[in-house]
Protein backbone atom coordinates (compact mmCIF):
# COMPACT_ATOMS: atom_id res chain seq x y z
CA UNK A 1 0.00 0.00 0.00
CA UNK A 2 1.05 3.52 -0.55
CA UNK A 3 1.96 5.95 2.18
CA UNK A 4 -1.08 8.15 2.50
CA UNK A 5 0.47 10.94 4.50
CA UNK A 6 1.35 12.81 1.34
CA UNK A 7 -0.71 14.27 -1.46
CA UNK A 8 2.24 13.46 -3.69
CA UNK A 9 5.52 11.67 -3.30
CA UNK A 10 8.20 11.82 -5.99
CA UNK A 11 11.56 10.10 -5.80
CA UNK A 12 14.48 10.15 -8.18
CA UNK A 13 12.90 12.17 -10.98
CA UNK A 14 15.19 12.75 -13.97
CA UNK A 15 14.06 14.50 -17.14
CA UNK A 16 16.27 15.25 -20.08
CA UNK A 17 15.50 16.67 -23.51
CA UNK A 18 17.38 15.13 -26.42
CA UNK A 19 17.81 18.09 -28.77
CA UNK A 20 19.86 18.74 -31.89
CA UNK A 21 22.17 20.89 -29.79
CA UNK A 22 22.74 18.16 -27.25
CA UNK A 23 21.09 16.70 -24.19
CA UNK A 24 19.46 19.23 -21.88
CA UNK A 25 19.47 17.93 -18.30
CA UNK A 26 16.28 19.64 -17.10
CA UNK A 27 15.54 17.77 -13.87
CA UNK A 28 18.22 15.84 -11.99
CA UNK A 29 17.46 13.39 -9.19
CA UNK A 30 14.59 15.34 -7.71
CA UNK A 31 12.81 14.08 -4.56
CA UNK A 32 9.75 15.99 -3.47
CA UNK A 33 6.70 15.32 -1.35
CA UNK A 34 3.97 17.38 0.24
CA UNK A 35 1.50 16.89 3.09
CA UNK A 36 -2.25 17.14 2.51
CA UNK A 37 -3.87 20.59 2.34
CA UNK A 38 -0.50 22.28 2.05
CA UNK A 39 0.69 24.75 -0.54
CA UNK A 40 4.23 24.32 -1.81
CA UNK A 41 6.04 27.15 -3.55
CA UNK A 42 8.39 25.87 -6.24
CA UNK A 43 10.78 28.74 -6.95
CA UNK A 44 13.83 29.39 -9.07
CA UNK A 45 15.02 31.35 -12.09
CA UNK A 46 13.78 30.65 -15.61
CA UNK A 47 15.26 27.37 -16.83
CA UNK A 48 15.51 25.82 -13.34
CA UNK A 49 13.22 22.95 -14.36
CA UNK A 50 10.02 23.99 -12.57
CA UNK A 51 7.62 23.54 -15.48
CA UNK A 52 9.28 20.29 -16.51
CA UNK A 53 8.79 18.95 -12.97
CA UNK A 54 5.09 19.86 -13.10
CA UNK A 55 4.66 18.29 -16.55
CA UNK A 56 6.46 15.12 -15.41
CA UNK A 57 4.05 14.78 -12.48
CA UNK A 58 1.17 14.57 -14.95
CA UNK A 59 3.16 12.57 -17.52
CA UNK A 60 2.86 15.47 -19.95
CA UNK A 61 6.52 15.92 -20.86
CA UNK A 62 6.58 15.93 -24.67
CA UNK A 63 8.38 12.88 -26.02
CA UNK A 64 10.43 13.30 -28.10
CA UNK A 65 12.46 15.26 -27.12
CA UNK A 66 11.74 14.47 -23.45
CA UNK A 67 13.00 11.34 -21.67
CA UNK A 68 11.65 10.80 -18.16
CA UNK A 69 12.90 8.44 -15.47
CA UNK A 70 11.36 8.23 -12.06
CA UNK A 71 11.77 5.80 -9.17
CA UNK A 72 8.48 6.76 -7.51
CA UNK A 73 5.60 8.94 -8.64
CA UNK A 74 2.56 8.79 -6.40
CA UNK A 75 -0.21 11.36 -6.38
CA UNK A 76 -3.33 10.99 -4.23
CA UNK A 77 -2.13 7.50 -3.32
CA UNK A 78 -1.97 6.35 -6.95
CA UNK A 79 1.08 5.16 -8.81
CA UNK A 80 0.91 7.58 -11.74
CA UNK A 81 3.54 5.63 -13.69
CA UNK A 82 1.30 2.56 -13.97
CA UNK A 83 -1.86 4.29 -15.22
CA UNK A 84 -3.27 3.67 -18.69
CA UNK A 85 -3.87 6.64 -20.99
CA UNK A 86 -7.54 6.61 -20.10
CA UNK A 87 -6.93 6.40 -16.35
CA UNK A 88 -4.48 9.27 -16.70
CA UNK A 89 -7.13 11.41 -18.40
CA UNK A 90 -9.47 10.76 -15.48
CA UNK A 91 -6.84 11.69 -12.92
CA UNK A 92 -5.89 14.86 -14.80
CA UNK A 93 -9.41 16.16 -15.06
CA UNK A 94 -10.62 15.11 -11.65
CA UNK A 95 -7.93 14.61 -9.00
CA UNK A 96 -5.29 16.99 -10.32
CA UNK A 97 -5.80 20.29 -12.12
CA UNK A 98 -3.16 22.36 -13.78
CA UNK A 99 -3.26 26.12 -14.31
CA UNK A 100 -0.79 27.51 -16.82
CA UNK A 101 0.70 30.97 -17.22
CA UNK A 102 -1.20 31.76 -20.41
CA UNK A 103 -4.94 31.24 -19.87
CA UNK A 104 -5.51 30.80 -23.62
CA UNK A 105 -3.65 27.47 -23.57
CA UNK A 106 -6.53 26.13 -21.50
CA UNK A 107 -9.40 27.99 -23.17
CA UNK A 108 -10.94 27.21 -26.50
CA UNK A 109 -11.73 30.40 -28.44
CA UNK A 110 -14.75 28.93 -30.24
CA UNK A 111 -16.66 27.68 -27.17
CA UNK A 112 -18.70 29.77 -24.76
CA UNK A 113 -17.00 29.97 -21.36
CA UNK A 114 -19.91 28.31 -19.58
CA UNK A 115 -19.67 25.31 -21.94
CA UNK A 116 -15.98 24.89 -21.27
CA UNK A 117 -16.60 24.53 -17.55
CA UNK A 118 -19.73 22.42 -18.04
CA UNK A 119 -17.92 20.00 -20.35
CA UNK A 120 -15.56 18.95 -17.60
CA UNK A 121 -18.49 18.43 -15.21
CA UNK A 122 -20.35 16.29 -17.72
CA UNK A 123 -17.31 14.11 -18.39
CA UNK A 124 -15.89 13.71 -14.90
CA UNK A 125 -18.86 14.24 -12.59
CA UNK A 126 -21.41 12.69 -14.98
CA UNK A 127 -23.80 15.61 -14.53
CA UNK A 128 -26.66 16.11 -16.96
CA UNK A 129 -26.30 18.93 -19.46
CA UNK A 130 -28.70 21.12 -17.50
CA UNK A 131 -27.08 20.51 -14.09
CA UNK A 132 -23.61 21.02 -15.55
CA UNK A 133 -24.65 24.38 -17.00
CA UNK A 134 -26.09 25.47 -13.66
CA UNK A 135 -23.01 24.34 -11.70
CA UNK A 136 -20.76 26.05 -14.25
CA UNK A 137 -22.57 29.35 -13.70
CA UNK A 138 -22.19 28.95 -9.94
CA UNK A 139 -18.47 28.36 -10.45
CA UNK A 140 -18.22 31.51 -12.56
CA UNK A 141 -19.88 33.51 -9.80
CA UNK A 142 -17.54 31.95 -7.26
CA UNK A 143 -14.55 33.33 -9.18
CA UNK A 144 -16.23 36.71 -9.45
CA UNK A 145 -17.71 36.58 -12.95
CA UNK A 146 -21.39 37.45 -13.31
CA UNK A 147 -23.56 34.65 -14.71
CA UNK A 148 -24.87 37.16 -17.23
CA UNK A 149 -21.54 36.79 -19.03
CA UNK A 150 -21.57 32.98 -19.09
CA UNK A 151 -22.50 32.80 -22.76
CA UNK A 152 -19.65 34.99 -23.95
CA UNK A 153 -16.44 33.75 -25.58
CA UNK A 154 -13.03 33.91 -23.95
CA UNK A 155 -11.77 36.63 -26.29
CA UNK A 156 -14.45 38.97 -24.94
CA UNK A 157 -12.81 38.75 -21.50
CA UNK A 158 -9.81 40.62 -20.07
CA UNK A 159 -6.64 38.70 -19.14
CA UNK A 160 -7.58 38.59 -15.46
CA UNK A 161 -11.08 37.31 -16.24
CA UNK A 162 -9.72 34.63 -18.57
CA UNK A 163 -7.43 33.37 -15.84
CA UNK A 164 -10.42 33.29 -13.47
CA UNK A 165 -12.31 31.15 -15.97
CA UNK A 166 -9.31 28.82 -16.05
CA UNK A 167 -9.41 28.68 -12.26
CA UNK A 168 -13.14 27.89 -12.39
CA UNK A 169 -12.40 25.03 -14.80
CA UNK A 170 -9.56 23.85 -12.57
CA UNK A 171 -11.83 23.82 -9.54
CA UNK A 172 -14.89 22.37 -11.27
CA UNK A 173 -14.36 18.79 -10.12
CA UNK A 174 -12.98 19.58 -6.66
CA UNK A 175 -9.44 18.45 -7.41
CA UNK A 176 -7.27 17.23 -4.55
CA UNK A 177 -4.20 18.87 -6.04
CA UNK A 178 -3.82 22.04 -8.09
CA UNK A 179 -0.57 22.69 -9.91
CA UNK A 180 -0.41 26.39 -10.82
CA UNK A 181 2.49 27.31 -13.11
CA UNK A 182 3.14 31.07 -12.87
CA UNK A 183 -0.63 31.64 -12.93
CA UNK A 184 -0.43 35.40 -12.51
CA UNK A 185 2.77 36.26 -14.40
CA UNK A 186 0.85 37.43 -17.47
CA UNK A 187 -1.47 39.67 -15.43
CA UNK A 188 -0.95 43.21 -14.24
CA UNK A 189 -0.23 43.80 -10.58
CA UNK A 190 -3.72 44.65 -9.25
CA UNK A 191 -5.35 41.79 -11.10
CA UNK A 192 -2.51 39.54 -9.95
CA UNK A 193 -3.37 40.31 -6.32
CA UNK A 194 -7.06 39.61 -6.92
CA UNK A 195 -6.39 36.27 -8.58
CA UNK A 196 -4.01 35.24 -5.79
CA UNK A 197 -6.57 36.19 -3.13
CA UNK A 198 -9.15 34.15 -4.96
CA UNK A 199 -6.86 31.11 -5.14
CA UNK A 200 -6.01 31.41 -1.46
CA UNK A 201 -9.68 31.63 -0.52
CA UNK A 202 -10.76 28.70 -2.62
CA UNK A 203 -7.89 26.55 -1.46
CA UNK A 204 -8.87 27.10 2.15
CA UNK A 205 -12.55 26.48 1.49
CA UNK A 206 -11.99 23.27 -0.42
CA UNK A 207 -8.96 21.87 1.46
CA UNK A 208 -7.07 21.57 -1.79
CA UNK A 209 -3.32 20.98 -1.84
CA UNK A 210 -1.38 23.14 -4.24
CA UNK A 211 1.95 23.63 -5.96
CA UNK A 212 2.51 27.28 -6.77
CA UNK A 213 5.27 27.60 -9.35
CA UNK A 214 6.74 31.08 -9.42
CA UNK A 215 9.94 33.08 -9.61
CA UNK A 216 8.34 35.66 -7.31
CA UNK A 217 9.17 35.30 -3.60
CA UNK A 218 6.47 37.87 -2.78
CA UNK A 219 3.84 35.45 -4.09
CA UNK A 220 5.44 32.62 -2.12
CA UNK A 221 5.26 34.66 1.10
CA UNK A 222 1.61 35.33 0.50
CA UNK A 223 0.24 31.90 -0.35
CA UNK A 224 2.69 29.11 0.54
CA UNK A 225 3.26 26.97 3.64
CA UNK A 226 6.37 25.32 2.29
CA UNK A 227 9.02 26.26 -0.22
CA UNK A 228 11.35 24.28 -2.48
CA UNK A 229 14.08 26.30 -4.19
CA UNK A 230 15.22 24.84 -7.51
CA UNK A 231 18.48 25.42 -9.34
CA UNK A 232 19.60 23.56 -12.49
CA UNK A 233 16.96 20.88 -12.06
CA UNK A 234 17.75 20.19 -8.42
CA UNK A 235 16.24 21.25 -5.14
CA UNK A 236 18.94 23.18 -3.30
CA UNK A 237 16.91 24.19 -0.26
CA UNK A 238 13.53 23.20 1.10
CA UNK A 239 11.60 24.06 4.24
CA UNK A 240 8.66 25.84 5.77
CA UNK A 241 8.03 29.43 4.80
CA UNK A 242 9.74 30.55 8.01
CA UNK A 243 12.73 28.25 7.39
CA UNK A 244 13.33 29.76 3.97
CA UNK A 245 12.57 33.39 4.77
CA UNK A 246 14.04 33.68 8.27
CA UNK A 247 16.71 30.99 8.41
CA UNK A 248 18.00 31.00 4.84
CA UNK A 249 20.77 28.43 4.43
CA UNK A 250 21.64 28.31 0.73
CA UNK A 251 23.59 31.11 -0.97
CA UNK A 252 21.35 30.79 -4.02
CA UNK A 253 18.24 31.39 -1.91
CA UNK A 254 19.96 34.36 -0.35
CA UNK A 255 20.74 35.62 -3.84
CA UNK A 256 17.07 35.39 -4.78
CA UNK A 257 16.19 37.53 -1.75
CA UNK A 258 18.92 40.07 -2.48
CA UNK A 259 17.71 40.51 -6.02
CA UNK A 260 14.22 41.46 -4.80
CA UNK A 261 13.25 45.09 -4.63
CA UNK A 262 13.20 46.07 -0.97
CA UNK A 263 9.83 47.57 -0.19
CA UNK A 264 10.85 49.02 3.17
CA UNK A 265 13.91 50.75 1.78
CA UNK A 266 13.30 51.97 -1.73
CA UNK A 267 16.79 53.39 -1.96
CA UNK A 268 18.35 49.97 -1.46
CA UNK A 269 20.30 48.68 -4.44
CA UNK A 270 19.20 45.47 -6.06
CA UNK A 271 21.97 42.96 -6.05
CA UNK A 272 21.31 40.46 -8.81
CA UNK A 273 23.04 37.11 -8.58
CA UNK A 274 26.24 37.45 -10.56
CA UNK A 275 26.88 35.26 -13.58
CA UNK A 276 24.46 33.04 -15.44
CA UNK A 277 22.99 29.63 -14.99
CA UNK A 278 25.35 26.99 -16.35
CA UNK A 279 24.78 25.44 -19.77
CA UNK A 280 22.01 22.88 -19.19
CA UNK A 281 23.67 20.46 -21.61
CA UNK A 282 26.58 20.04 -19.22
CA UNK A 283 26.55 18.15 -15.97
CA UNK A 284 29.00 19.87 -13.61
CA UNK A 285 31.10 17.67 -11.34
CA UNK A 286 30.75 19.93 -8.33
CA UNK A 287 27.98 22.15 -7.02
CA UNK A 288 26.22 23.73 -10.02
CA UNK A 289 25.97 27.02 -8.15
CA UNK A 290 29.68 27.17 -7.24
CA UNK A 291 30.73 29.41 -10.18
CA UNK A 292 28.27 32.09 -9.02
CA UNK A 293 28.69 31.62 -5.28
CA UNK A 294 30.50 34.07 -2.97
CA UNK A 295 31.11 31.33 -0.42
CA UNK A 296 32.39 28.53 -2.63
CA UNK A 297 35.41 26.62 -1.38
CA UNK A 298 37.56 24.07 -3.15
CA UNK A 299 35.28 21.12 -2.28
CA UNK A 300 32.37 22.95 -3.90
CA UNK A 301 34.07 22.67 -7.30
CA UNK A 302 34.76 18.96 -6.97
CA UNK A 303 31.91 17.42 -4.99
CA UNK A 304 28.23 17.51 -5.60
CA UNK A 305 26.48 18.40 -2.33
CA UNK A 306 23.54 16.14 -1.40
CA UNK A 307 20.28 17.59 -0.13
CA UNK A 308 20.34 16.78 3.57
CA UNK A 309 18.02 17.45 6.50
CA UNK A 310 19.27 20.02 8.99
CA UNK A 311 16.08 20.07 11.05
CA UNK A 312 12.81 18.12 10.83
CA UNK A 313 11.54 20.55 8.24
CA UNK A 314 14.58 22.22 6.69
CA UNK A 315 16.89 20.70 4.04
CA UNK A 316 19.86 22.17 2.23
CA UNK A 317 22.39 21.02 -0.38
CA UNK A 318 25.46 23.15 0.31
CA UNK A 319 29.01 22.25 1.34
CA UNK A 320 29.65 25.80 2.54
CA UNK A 321 26.74 25.42 4.91
CA UNK A 322 28.05 22.07 6.13
CA UNK A 323 31.47 23.60 6.74
CA UNK A 324 30.23 26.61 8.66
CA UNK A 325 26.50 26.58 9.36
CA UNK A 326 26.22 30.23 10.38
CA UNK A 327 28.07 31.77 7.45
CA UNK A 328 25.06 33.51 5.97
CA UNK A 329 23.94 34.81 9.33
CA UNK A 330 27.34 36.28 10.10
CA UNK A 331 27.55 37.84 6.67
CA UNK A 332 24.12 39.42 7.11
CA UNK A 333 24.94 40.85 10.53
CA UNK A 334 28.08 42.43 9.08
CA UNK A 335 26.07 44.26 6.44
N1 LIG B 1 10.50 20.89 -25.11
C2 LIG B 1 11.76 21.18 -24.76
N3 LIG B 1 12.79 20.86 -25.57
C4 LIG B 1 14.06 21.11 -25.21
N5 LIG B 1 14.44 21.70 -24.07
C6 LIG B 1 13.45 22.07 -23.22
C7 LIG B 1 12.08 21.82 -23.51
N8 LIG B 1 11.34 22.29 -22.47
C9 LIG B 1 12.22 22.81 -21.58
N10 LIG B 1 13.49 22.67 -22.01
C11 LIG B 1 14.73 23.07 -21.30
O12 LIG B 1 14.71 22.44 -20.04
C13 LIG B 1 15.23 23.30 -19.03
C14 LIG B 1 14.18 23.49 -17.94
O15 LIG B 1 13.11 24.23 -18.48
P16 LIG B 1 11.74 24.50 -17.69
O17 LIG B 1 11.27 23.24 -17.06
O18 LIG B 1 10.82 25.18 -18.63
O19 LIG B 1 12.22 25.51 -16.54
P20 LIG B 1 11.42 26.65 -15.75
O21 LIG B 1 9.96 26.31 -15.79
O22 LIG B 1 11.99 26.61 -14.37
O23 LIG B 1 11.72 27.95 -16.43
C24 LIG B 1 15.63 24.58 -19.74
O25 LIG B 1 17.02 24.51 -20.05
C26 LIG B 1 14.79 24.55 -20.99
O27 LIG B 1 15.39 25.27 -22.05
MG1 LIG C 1 8.35 27.50 -16.43
Mean pLDDT of the chain: 91
Classify residue 322 as exposed, middle or buried by CB count within 10 Å of its CB (0-12, 13-18, 19+). middle
Q: Where are the alpha helices (DSSP H) in the chain?
A: 50-57, 85-94, 113-124, 129-142, 159-171, 189-206, 217-223, 241-246, 251-258, 298-302, 319-323, 327-334
Put simply, whether the predicted model's pTM sits higher than 0.85 gets the answer: yes
> What spacing in Å lies between the alpha carbon of 130 and ligand 2's midpoint?
38
pLDDT band at 268 (very low <50, low <70, confident <90, very high): low
Section 259-281 average pLDDT: 75
CB-based burial, 249-258: b 16+ in 10 Å, e otherwise: bbbbbbbbee
Residue 326: C-alpha distances to residues 197, 295, 313, 315, 330 (Å) = 36, 12, 18, 15, 6
pLDDT band at 104 (very low <50, low <70, confident <90, very high): confident
CA–chain centroid gap for 153, Å, is 29
Atom of ligand 1 nearest to the CA of 53: 17
pLDDT, position 329:
72
148/137 Cα distance (integer angstroms): 9
Name the closest-CA residue to atom 24, ligand 1.
47
**Mutation test residue for ligand 1: of 21, 22, 47, the one with most atoms within 8 Å of CB:** 47
Decide if pLDDT at 18 tops 50.
Answer: yes
pLDDT band at 231 (very low <50, low <70, confident <90, very high): very high
Decide if pLDDT at 1 tops 50.
Answer: no
Q: Which residue has better confidence, 81 or 102?
A: 81
Atom of ligand 1 nearest to the CA of 65: 3
Q: Which residues line ligand 1 (CB under 6 A)?
A: 17, 19, 24, 26, 44, 46-52, 62, 65, 280
Peptide bond into 107 cis (omega under 30): no
117 touches 162 (CB < 8 A): no
> What spacing in Å lies between the alpha carbon of 49 and ligand 2's midpoint?
7
3-state secondary structure (DSSP) of residue 284: coil
> What spacing in Å lies between the alpha carbon of 48 and ligand 2's midpoint?
8
Amino acid sequence: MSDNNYIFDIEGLNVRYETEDGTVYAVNGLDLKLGYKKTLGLVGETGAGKTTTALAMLRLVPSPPGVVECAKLEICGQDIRSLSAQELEEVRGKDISMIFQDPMTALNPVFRVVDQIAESLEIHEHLSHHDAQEKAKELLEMVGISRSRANEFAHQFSGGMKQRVVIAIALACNPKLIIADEPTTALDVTIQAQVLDLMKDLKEKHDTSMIMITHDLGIVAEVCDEVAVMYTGRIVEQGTLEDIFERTMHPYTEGLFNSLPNIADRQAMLKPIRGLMPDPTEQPKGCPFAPRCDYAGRECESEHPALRSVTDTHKVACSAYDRQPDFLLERRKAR
